[in-house]
Amino acid sequence: MEKNIIYKPLSEYKTNLKLKHEENVDQLFDALIEESKVDWEANRSTVKKLRVDEAQSNYLMSSLKKQKLLRAFLIFLTVLFILAPIIFILYQVFSQSSWSFSQLGLALLIVGMILAVAGAALFIWLIVTKVNKKIGTIKGDLNTVNKNIDKLTETAWDQAKDLNVLFDWTMPTRLVEKTIPIVKMDPYFNFQRYETLINKYNLEDKSKNEMSLFVQSGEIEGNPFIMSQNFEYFPSQKDYSGALVVSWTETYTDSKGKKQTKTRSETLTAWVTKFFPDYQSNESIIYGNEAIPNLQFSRKPQAVSNLGEGKRYERAIDKKVKKLEKMSRKAIKQGDDFNVMNNTEFEALFHAIDRDNEQEFRLMFPALAQEAMKEILLDQTVGYGDDFYFFKENMLNTIIPEHLQDMDMDTNPNTYITYEIDETKELFTNYNNEYFKHFYFAMAPILSIPLYQDYKSSDHIYGFDYDAPVSPWEHESIAHNLGTENLKHPQSITEDILKVEVLEREEGYEKLLIKASGFKGIERIDYVWAMASNGSSHAVPVPWVEYLPVKKETTVVVKKLKDYSRPKFLANMNQNSDWKKYFEGYHLSTDNMMFYKNLVVFIVGEKQQDLEPKSLDDIFSNSL
């Protein structure tokens, strides 16, 4: 395939790329196994024993629960058998009835009391000699089994350790590059790429109420793209309700003419509407290309899967086409530019009716592109079909696919780190295959346009600039990965928006100020007057929450490492004596330092106030 251009994304995935990527994933995992030199069979044997002990532990816990229930039941019977005769005697003493029994009745009473005492004694004997002993035995067995589970789990983790340290943030993106060579993924979203998208392609920057949860930048033939998940706060309103039960007495005349009274009750309900902070997230692909610089349009999913097949599909398309042709005739009369293309089926399916440049629209969608896009839209088995929004604003294209909203795309290696190598392989394989599928079909509308792949931006000659600072979007992604709980105000009860300010920037490192904005909640009660059906008015209490803004600022250091990977970083942290001495002096370890993509990040606390970021250069240059 010349230049690896993908003319028909759906067909190419189905016949070639899906299998190719699966093979690449399997090959990478096999290479990791070989490099790590883990004993897979030994780990498998350990996990097998672990599962047997876990099953035994579950059985013992179930048995223990049953024995405790039996003991509780016997205690209940013991108390009942002891209290029954006592209650009977007390009743006779304090009641006005005489203690007159026949000889038979007296004998039965005595026998009953003896049996009650004997029964209580029997139950106590069963509890002490049988049930408690059984419970003690089960607890001992359970303790032994659980200790063995802990030992086997530790052994399994140790057996998988050398494999787990090899997993890196960049593996899913490197696999994508191997499967589709025209796609180049950046190590991180740097300022060079950010400025190009802002200044050249007119990318709109995020507002103060919006942040990046993750971002992955890259290029196709020098044409930049971003895959990102954004999180946004917006003010909203919430309805609160309260209730009050009221009662009153009514007088009425019965059928005999007598005055009677009765009590009525009613539940009054009231509502108040108050400010409420709401949040939403969305994942999108943003792609810049200069080839078609003046065209603007938008389209949304057309529920193609509901159009049916055969005659039903044809009728649905005909109906859509008639509406489009009517719009076209009206546009011509009004001197507007909209004109239906000859391929009316494509027009009906893609439905970009707000386009403002017919010439460039046809240039963007020649016959080959129309056919490729139609395949994507009609597909219901291979990819995700017509599930995407497409917005084009001059040189900037935004794709918002619904399938991308449900997939974690941040490539955190913890996704597949476990103590069971078999499970790790399954997680690794499934995640990377799903990552590729989700990314590929999010990009498929872009890849279906040959002109976009044919056009090579002049920016590609510069390559990725490791010396360029980290972009603001990546800063926010870093903050998110540090964990909102570590950054948010202690009184915040909502989600937080994390914005970042650069305090210092030198070659190779940045000192950042992360500003977390959330809301605390204060319980309030409003009283709303409501009228009952008898005409009386009552103040109904309506509890609600007042949300007030709270903020917290945290200082963070970000160090760029050009030639480092997660395995190399962890190896030095665990084995390099110079590193250990340096970082222990500042109370830093893998517990509070994060290796993220090609960056090392840590929060500057009280113990790190004297750390000079420049001194990190000497440490990281002294690696194993």
pLDDT of residue 466: 66
What are phi and psi for residue 499, nearest 5 degrees?
A: -115, 155
pLDDT of residue 13: 97
CA atoms within 13 A of residue 329's CA, in its CB half-sphere:
5
pLDDT of residue 609: 85
Nearest CA among 375, 528, 533, 439 for reference residue 172 = 439
202, 392 contact by CB (below 8 A): no
- pTM metric for this prediction: 0.87
pLDDT tens for each residue of 397-409: 999 999 999 888 9
pLDDT tens for each residue of 493-534: 999 999 999 999 988 889 999 999 999 999 999 999 999 998
Report the distance separating Cα 435 and Cα 175, nearest Å.
Answer: 10
Nearest CA among 343, 372, 352, 551 for reference residue 444 = 372
Report the distance separating Cα 402 and Cα 398, nearest Å.
Answer: 13
Residues of the chain with pLDDT under 70: 1-3, 91-109, 112, 305-306, 308, 335, 460-464, 466
CA 468 to chain centre: 31
Contacts of residue 114, Cβ cutoff 8 Å, sequence gap at least 6: none
11, 375 contact by CB (below 8 A): yes
Cα separations in angstroms, 543 against 223, 237, 571: 54, 15, 55
